[in-house]
């Protein structure tokens, strides 16, 4: 049987039944999204694996800890900022609490609300995890040379712009 033959029938494959070969995207939005996706997949997989192996954190927990590191916040605010559903944020915070990286306390201004604060152990964990992230990501960033700063500034601006509403003609229509 030829190596390209269908293993069930032994016949050569029907060329019309095969999916078309992917074409390179030509529109700027598609090129951007494909490049963004490839960068995210390339870096996040490696970073996530090493964070788990070395520190017991996944990338989401590391990013959440980074935000709490900056200032005490509430679970709801953190979920909003990271654009993560509240149930998923609860899982992330449970993980960080289990690692003794954060505490959840009652907000003195609102007894129904919780405050998240980083612990000394959480500070040490974050410092070590940040070193791991830096070690893994820095070589790729350094390869960009002087183009890194304008790229970073552009992405930060795009992140800010992307938080605005969709154009009204693209927004989902409400159903009665």
Q: How high is the pLDDT of residue 135?
A: 96
Predicted pLDDT of residue 22 = 59
CA 139 to chain centre: 19
Inter-residue contact 148 to 140 (CB < 8 Å): no
**8 A C-beta contact, residue 99 and residue 125:** yes
CA distance 161 to 16: 43
E strand or H helix at 105: strand 102-107
* pLDDT by 10-residue block (mean), the chain, 176 residues: 51 53 70 88 92 95 93 89 92 96 86 89 97 95 92 89 66 59
The pLDDT, as a whole number, for residue 65 is 96
User: 3-class DSSP state for residue 133?
Assistant: helix
Provide φ and ψ at 91, rounded to 5°.
Answer: -60, -45
pLDDT on residue 49: 94
Q: Is 56 left (phi over 0), alpha (psi -120 to 50) or beta?
A: left
The pLDDT value given to residue 146: 93
Q: Give the pLDDT score at 21.
A: 47
The span from the CA of 103 to the CA of 65, in Å, is: 11
């Amino acid at each position: 049987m030829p190596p390209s033959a269908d293993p069930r029938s032994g016949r050569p494959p029907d060329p019309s039944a095969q999916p078309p070969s992917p074409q390179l995207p030509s529109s700027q939005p598609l090129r951007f999204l494909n490049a963004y996706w490839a960068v995210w997949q390339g870096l996040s997989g490696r970073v996530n694996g090493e964070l788990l192996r070395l520190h017991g954190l996944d990338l989401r927990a590391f990013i959440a800890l980074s935000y709490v590191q900056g200032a005490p916040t509430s679970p709801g605010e953190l979920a909003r900022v990271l654009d993560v559903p509240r149930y998923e944020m609860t899982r992330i915070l449970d993980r960080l609490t289990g690692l003794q990286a954060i505490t959840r306390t009652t907000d003195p201004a609102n007894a129904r609300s919780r405050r998240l604060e980083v612990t000394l152990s959480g500070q040490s964990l974050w410092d070590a995890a940040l070193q791991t992230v830096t070690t893994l990501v820095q070589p790729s960033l350094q390869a960009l040379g002087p183009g890194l700063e304008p790229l970073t500034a552009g992405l930060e601006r795009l992140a800010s712009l992307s938080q605005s509403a969709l154009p009204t003609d693209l927004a989902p229509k409400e159903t009665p």
